[in-house]
Amino acid sequence: MTVSYRQPGVVLTDRRFTVPLDHDEPGGETIELYAREVVARDKAGQGLPWLVYLQGGPGFGANRFVGRPAWLGRALKEYRVLLLDQRGTGASTPANRQTLPLRGGPAEQADYLTHFRADSIVRDCEAIRPQITGGDPWTVLGQSFGGFCTVSYLSLAPEGLAAALITGGLPSLDAHADDVYRAAYPRIERKVAAHYARYPQDVERARRIADHLLQHEVTLPNGYRLTVEAFQSLGILLGGGDGSHQLHFLLEDAFVPTPGGPALSDAFLEQVQGQLSYASHPLYAVVHESIYGRDERPTAWSAERVRAEFPQFDAAKTLTGDGPLLFTGETVHPWTFDCDPALRPLRETADALAARTDWRPLYDPARLAANEVPVAAAVYHDDMYVDTAHSLATARAIRGLRTWVTDEFEHDGVRAGGPRVLDRLLALARDEV
């Protein structure tokens, strides 16, 4: 059953689909996918081509837009848009601390979650495409992890694509998770240095908060244990266009006077909770490193292991001197599961995924080298989330791919500069520039 309704300038239609949990067993267990169709109100009766949007993540549902913001307005000039909640996210069959125990124990839960990677998402798209387009190929717009999925799409089912557009999401075709994080920590350090250059007053503010957390047990309103490492992980904000400003405003009024001495304010803790809690997107943490699994090598909590190679991120050591505290970025650690009440029940499941040695390849270099699908990719120079050198190496490995390398935007360029970014990618894919 489909339900249509209206928002300013657009007509929305809720769509639901049933797909196999394991596409290699089409007669086995099924799960449900949810997607929202969006079309401009004045084009609702027209036979437009389709564009499917693959959200970043992993583990996030598609954007809940109101009207035609960001890139969507530009897309609606010529497409019907499908905003897909990838399996396990949004209104699709959920995978979280409440539902995963239905699978059994941690080992069974981990086995289940091996079906929530890019290859399964691509096969979901191919399963529902005939129902939506009548079998015609569609255009895919992949942001961040959605771009990783798009490269898998080009590897597994290029016949389903009319064009592929990628923003901040060209993955390495052969890097192990360790390689990804060894490249990431120096980028993160550069982003932190740029933040302190913009807001030098934040050096002392961050040190003071970190020192307080080393000396006190602090719990957020939802039960999240705010350790100094968790505080450092707020650096994930620095990968977005306005993230440095958000972090600055968060730090500026952290303390209040109390009868027992200075304490972190309720307002500060509430804001930090909004940034750090995984309650709305637990899959992001649980399957995060598995997106880099592609052979017999386990990921083995790569971000945590590799962090030890960069002692400048050790807050306790930093505070023995007078240097600036370094924030971290898009990394998930074992302690993340100890801190967050939404993740604590899934710690053993995450451990089981980190130990797996049977990952299947997600990309096909030979097929990518013979690619015939028009492909364009925005590569954000010194992107904190995705390594530029890795992205450009992959761009060279995909036949016909055209890149737009820019430092005008951060990782969220498709949000911050959506119409211009999408315009540029479409022009490149169509060989108009």
Determine which one of 92, 144, 233, 244 is catalytic.
144
Q: Give the DSSP H or E segment for 377.
A: strand 375-380
Annotated catalytic residue 340: no
- CB of 30 within 8 A of CB of 55? no
DSSP state of 293: -
C-beta neighbour count of 166 within 10 angstroms: 33
- CB of 339 within 8 A of CB of 217? no
Residue 58: asked if its preceding bond is cis (omega within 30°), the reply is yes
3-class SS of residue 13: strand
Annotated catalytic residue 144: yes
Q: How far apart are CA 133 and CA 294, in angstroms?
A: 32
Structure tokens at 199: 């807001």
| Phi, psi (degrees; rounded to nearest 5) at 251 | -80, -20
- CB of 10 within 8 A of CB of 76? yes
Nearest of 56, 81, 84 to residue 69 by alpha carbon: 81
Q: How far apart are CA 358 and CA 117, in angstroms?
A: 13
CA distances from 3 to 12, 16, 67, 226, 302 (A): 8, 10, 17, 43, 44
Using CA atoms of 92, 97, 102, 106 in order, give the dihedral in degrees to the nearest 10. 120
Q: Give the DSSP H or E segment for 161.
A: strand 161-167
Determine which one of 281, 333, 390, 411 is catalytic.
411
C-beta neighbour count of 293 within 10 angstroms: 25
Which residues neighbour 342 within 8 Å (Cβ) at sequence distance 6 or greater? 96, 97, 222, 277, 278, 279, 282
Is 358 exposed, middle or buried (CB count within 10 Å of its CB: 0-12, 13-18, 19+)?
A: exposed
For tokens 């979280």, the residue is 96
Q: What does the buried/exposed string (b/e) look like for 239-274 if buried means 16 or more CB atoms within 10 Å of the residue's CB?
A: bbbebbeebbebbeebeeeeeeeebbeeebbebbbe
Annotated catalytic residue 390: no
For tokens 């992890």, the residue is 145
Q: How far apart are the first and last CA of the chain?
A: 43
Q: Catalytic residues, which ones? A: 144, 358, 411
